[in-house]
């Protein structure tokens, strides 16, 4: 069973000619089939965690370990991490001019699966996955994220999640900027992937709204660059009622 283990992870970023520590000792274990929600106020370092795990060059790991099934993730390049089974659904997916969605999806699937998918089954696979996400077939011929609405960008991220079938999926604020209908469609997509039991999900969010559609097994409160409290789904209810105030004042920054 695939397991992502994060141990005492410290991460810095360069900003305004100064080095700033964003992650200050993150410990977390995500197993295949589990869903962990990471919740926290803005600026707590949630997205830094997501991008550091994916290997974004902006972030420097200064301490700790990350392993996927015992393999050292931090030693891997960005593409190696993806091929090892890590997937990051981005909060702000990037436009890639000149590259069509269909070409991009096929190239990604070829890279992560280690061989080109058979054309006939692949076309069907993509078509069906797009239908499930209420995506117009014409979408496949557009350039990646170019001119996409916020909802289209997120659907496209979840489409990739469904097609690439990672071991561990990190969803970075996938719910932000979505109206209720789009949130439902996207959440259903995530749930389909979760129901296979093949993926460990790390759901990073600021709001509890998405947790009405995607039920987490574990909820972690993130503040000041680390996890300050962990619990079950009931912790999300507490946050819904009380907000992050208790974590941002005093205790969490100690």
Partner 1 sequence: MAEAQNAPVGSTTTGSIAVAAESTVATRMSAPPSYDVADFPVPHGREEEWRFTPLERLRGLHDGTAVATGNGVKVDVQAPEGVTVEAVGRDDARLGKAGIPVDRVAAQAYSAFEKASVVTVPKETVLTEPIRIAVHGEGGTAFGHQVIELGPFAEAVVVIDHTGDAVLAANVDYLLGDGAKLTVVSVQDWDDKAVHIAQHNALVGRDASFKSVVVTFGGDVVRLHPRVSYAGPGGEAELFGLYFTDRSQHQEHRLLVDHNVPHCKSNVVYKGALQGDDAHAVWIGDVLIEAAAEGTDTYEMNRNLVLTDGARVDSVPNLEIETGEIVGAGHASATGRFDDEQLFYLMARGIPEYEARRLVVRGFFAELVQQIGLPDIEERLIAKIEEELEASVG
Q: What are phi and psi of 136, to 5 degrees?
A: -65, 135
Closest separation in Å from C-beta 13 to partner 1: 14
Closest separation in Å from C-beta 5 to partner 1: 20
Closest separation in Å from C-beta 79 to partner 1: 4
Nearer to partner 1, 130 or 211 (CB): 130
Distance CA 64, CA 50 (A): 15
Applying CB under 8 A, the residues found at the interface with partner 1 are 54-57, 77-79, 81-83, 87-88, 90, 93-100, 103-104, 107-108, 111-112, 143-144, 160, 164
Nearer to partner 1, 199 or 219 (CB): 199
Nearer to partner 1, 10 or 156 (CB): 156
Nearer to partner 1, 129 or 252 (CB): 129
Closest separation in Å from C-beta 157 to partner 1: 10
SS3 readout for 68-106: ECCEEHHHCCHHHHHHHCEEEECCCCCCEEEEEHHHHHH
Distance CA 6, CA 221 (A): 16
Closest separation in Å from C-beta 144 to partner 1: 8
Residue among 135, 22, 143, 6 nearest 65 (CA): 6
CA angle at residue 142 from 162 to 109, to 5 degrees? 35
* Cβ density class 170-202: b for 16+ within 10 Å, e for less: bbbbbbbebeeebbebbbebbeebbeeeebbbb
Nearer to partner 1, 149 or 253 (CB): 149
Nearer to partner 1, 52 or 223 (CB): 52
Closest separation in Å from C-beta 88 to partner 1: 6
Is 211 in contact with 201 (CB distance < 8 Å)? no
């Amino acid at each position: 069973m695939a397991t992502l283990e994060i141990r005492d992870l410290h991460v810095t970023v360069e900003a305004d000619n100064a080095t700033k520590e964003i992650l200050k000792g993150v410990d977390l274990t995500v197993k295949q089939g589990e869903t962990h929600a990471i919740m926290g106020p803005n600026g707590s370092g949630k997205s830094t965690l997501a991008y550091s795990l994916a290997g974004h060059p902006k972030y420097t790991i200064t301490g700790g370990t990350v392993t996927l099934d015992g393999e050292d993730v931090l030693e891997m390049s960005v593409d190696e991490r993806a091929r090892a089974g890590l997937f990051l659904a981005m909060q702000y997916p990037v436009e890639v001019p000149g590259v069509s969605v269909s070409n991009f999806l096929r190239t990604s699937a070829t890279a992560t699966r280690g061989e080109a998918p058979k054309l006939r089954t692949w076309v069907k696979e993509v078509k069906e996955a797009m239908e499930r996400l209420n995506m117009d077939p014409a979408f496949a011929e557009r350039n990646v994220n170019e001119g996409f609405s916020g909802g289209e960008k997120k659907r496209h991220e979840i489409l990739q999640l469904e097609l690439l079938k990672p071991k561990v999926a990190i969803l970075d604020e996938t719910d932000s900027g979505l109206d209720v209908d789009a949130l439902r469609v996207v959440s259903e997509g995530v749930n389909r992937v979760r129901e296979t039991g093949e993926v460990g999900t790390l759901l990073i969010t600021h709001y509890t709204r998405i947790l009405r559609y995607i039920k987490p097994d574990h909820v972690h409160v993130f503040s000041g660059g680390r996890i300050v409290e962990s619990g079950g789904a009931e912790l999300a209810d507490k946050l819904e009622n009380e907000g992050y105030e208790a974590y941002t004042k005093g205790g969490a920054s100690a």
